[in-house]
Structure 1
Amino acid sequence: MLTKTETNVQPAKWDEMESASVSFFGMAWKKLRKNKGAMIGGSILLFFILTSVFAPVLTHYPVNEMRYDETLKPPSREHWLGTDEFGRDIYTRILYGGRVSLLMGLVAVSIAGSVGVFLGVIAGYYRRLDLYIMQLMDILLAFPSLLMAIAIVAVLGVGLTNAMIAVAISVIPSFVRVVRGSVLAVREKEYIESARALGVRDWKIIVRHILPNIASPIIVLATLQFGVSILSAAALSFLGLGAQPPNPEWGALVFVGKSFLSQAWWMTLYPGLAIMLVVLGFNLLGDGLRDALDPRIK
């Protein structure tokens, strides 16, 4: 009879935990929907993601087709955002450039997040390794992120892949510091101490108890760093260290357009606006997520 009672208690506990988790994220979603800034940011990002994905449907000019009889044409009905020095349609190149820029941000944040979360958890949970990991992060943080990315590209070589790796490395310290601080706060909780006393293995404690409880700051940081990564990748391309012609990356488009600023202002203005709007969208969404996922904010 006792065994039957025990077997009935455990599912009930899991049901309560799942219900609490659903309730928390449901409340967070309600708070996020009420945040006008977050909704505006999300709408901006959704717009750019959809236009980048469906670029072949939304444009009728080949992205790299050169038409020398239509060079430096201003915005018109035929070319909504004008043409460049080779007669290529700027509108088309911006849509396809969104694929490159958003991919660079996604890859950079994915690499930085994976490595940063791993190192942050190790540093926060195993205090004997904390000093060594954080000293390395302090060294990386001593350099401005863009300057460090430039140095890494100088070592690895110019190119799109190396630029993504460089941006990822420059972002890793931010993840490590945030994750470490969150782990330090959670590891002293009573349920963690109880799990240790029961002999639960460290990796199970980390996966089942620590990571779910520090997910909120990681999500917020990843959202904010997405915009930072896109901006850094665009800066590298602008300096000629990232995407190379004829890749229609936004930073590279701004770089090319600056040589024709007095003749064809549209070559610089519209790619620059695309970068600004996407970064703004991620910042607005990140701020909204921070407010929605923080239980202390009512």
Structure 2
Amino acid sequence: MSAFTADRAGVSAATVHAAIPMPDVLPPVKPRRGFIGFLRRNPTIAIGGGLLLIMVFVAIFAPFLWTKDPTALAPAMRTREPAARWWFGTDMLGRDVYSRVLYGARVSLLVGVAVAALASAVGLAIGLVSGFFRQVDAVVMRIMDGMMSIPPILLAIALMALTRGSVQNVIIAISIAEVPRVSRLVRGVVLSLREQPYVEAAVASGTRTGRILIRHILPNTLAPLTVQATYICAAAMITESILSFIGAGTPPTVPSWGNIMAEGRALWQVKPYIVFFPALFLSVTVLAINLVGDGLRDILDPRMAKSL
């Protein structure tokens, strides 16, 4: 090799080694980890969960939040405006509206959570069986279709007319009205999963039906079922308030948001605060549950995921 070629190669090598590294066009992305990062990535769950935690705190610690006996009568103090002594005023029987609203959160949240759990469990069992077994599906889903043809509130009213008013009967009546919607959702998921190759391979290998349902199909139904349960919880709270408002729900002696609004509707034009405060608490709680449901849908549904 000639001297010129050697010198040229040396210069090229020195130039390569002396080259200045180019700056990155885009700054490195720092993944947000931990609980704070999760809340930043999912503001809907953060807002809804925060509001819901406040309502749960109010319901649990109602006796310690400067409340009085929600059923104590004081006729001399009836229909008093909101003031320092009565933060939300008093109703036509002299009962403290603030105390009744805070204790009413217990009834509404209990009904919402219980109905969501009961309807989800029963609807899951019906949906799994009817979606996997074609012979059962032809009979069971026709029954579910017949129940879905009746509005849930009307079906709940009809069921409550057969029993006496109590929180337990309200939970059962609303759960029966919500079961068909859960069962149809689970059935649709099972119908799509039943045709998957791994399910067909499990059937061909002789795996028992119960094991296939529990191990291969059930886990894939939990994500949509969880989202649906949040909406059922919110709908159950509204239905309970409607039943109590028309006198077909919880007894008048039990403080619930529906009962408080029903008792104050006669004085709505002159004493609107009796209806306003329970309606406000109901609206905020239902909004919080719906926000949590929307956030869970965004997380659990890969098609709506915001980040990988």
State if a TM-score over 0.5 links the two structures: yes
Relative to total residues, which structure has the larger helix share, 1 or 2?
1
Could you list the runs of 4 or more consecutive aligned residues of structure 1 that deviate by over 3 angstroms after TM superposition?
29-33
Inter-partner Cα distance in structure 2 for 1:297 and 1:101: 31
Aligned to 1:241: 248
Q: CA RMSD in A?
A: 1.9
**Residue 108 of structure 2 is aligned with which of 101, 124, 128?**
101
**Residue 284 of structure 1 is aligned with which of 277, 281, 291?**
291
Deviations 1:263-284 (A, max 9, x none): 3211100011111111111111
Matched, 1:212 2:224: no
1:196-211 map, 5 Å: 196-211=203-218
Q: Is this contact kept in 1: 2:55–2:285, CA < 8 A?
A: yes
Matched, 1:43 2:37: no
Which SS does the other structure have where 1:240 is aligned? coil
Matched, 1:297 2:298: no
1:215 Cα offset (Å): 0.8
Structure 1 residues 136 and 249, CA, compared in 2 at 3 Å: closer, same or farther?
A: same
Aligned to 2:171: 164
Aligned to 1:66: 73
Q: Which runs of 5+ in 2 are unaligned?
A: 1-32
1:136 Cα offset (Å): 0.5
1:192 Cα offset (Å): 1.3
1:30 Cα offset (Å): 6.3
Deviations 1:123-159 (A, max 9, x none): 1111111111110011011111111111111123433
Inter-partner Cα distance in structure 2 for 1:138 and 1:59: 49
Structure 1 residues 95 and 183, CA, compared in 2 at 3 Å: closer, same or farther?
A: same
**Residue 266 of structure 1 is aligned with which of 270, 273, 280?**
273
Q: Is this contact kept in 2: 1:61–1:89, CA < 8 A?
A: yes
Inter-partner Cα distance in structure 1 for 2:181 and 2:38: 26
Inter-partner Cα distance in structure 2 for 1:173 and 1:114: 12
Inter-partner Cα distance in structure 1 for 2:151 and 2:103: 30
More deviation in 47-56 or 66-75?
66-75
Identity %: 38
Aligned to 1:130: 137
Code of the residue aligned with 1:123 in structure 2: it is S
Inter-partner Cα distance in structure 2 for 1:92 and 1:129: 50
Which SS does the other structure have where 1:79 is aligned? coil
Code of the residue aligned with 1:72 in structure 2: it is T
1:36 Cα offset (Å): 2.3
Aligned to 1:8: none
Deviations 1:236-276 (A, max 9, x none): 00010111122111111100010121232111000111111
Larger CA Rg, structure 1 vs 2: 2
Code of the residue aligned with 1:96 in structure 2: it is Y
Code of the residue aligned with 1:42 in structure 2: it is G
Q: Is this contact kept in 1: 2:244–2:250, CA < 8 A?
A: yes
Aligned to 1:141: 148
Deviations 1:93-122 (A, max 9, x none): 111111111111122222211110000000
Inter-partner Cα distance in structure 2 for 1:284 and 1:198: 44
1:37 Cα offset (Å): 2.6
The number of residues matched between the two structures is 273
More deviation in 214-223 or 196-205?
196-205
Which SS does the other structure have where 2:130 is aligned? helix
Code of the residue aligned with 2:202 in structure 1: it is A
Q: Is this contact kept in 2: 1:32–1:288, CA < 8 A?
A: no
**Residue 53 of structure 1 is aligned with which of 55, 60, 63?**
60
Code of the residue aligned with 1:292 in structure 2: it is I
Which SS does the other structure have where 1:296 is aligned? helix
Q: Which runs of 5+ in 1 are unaligned?
A: 1-25
Q: Is this contact kept in 1: 2:67–2:98, CA < 8 A?
A: no
1:67 Cα offset (Å): 2.0
User: What TM-score do you get using the length of structure 2 for normalisation?
Assistant: 0.84
User: What TM-score do you get using the length of structure 1 for normalisation?
Assistant: 0.87
1:211 Cα offset (Å): 0.9
Q: Is this contact kept in 1: 2:257–2:278, CA < 8 A?
A: yes
Inter-partner Cα distance in structure 2 for 1:227 and 1:105: 6
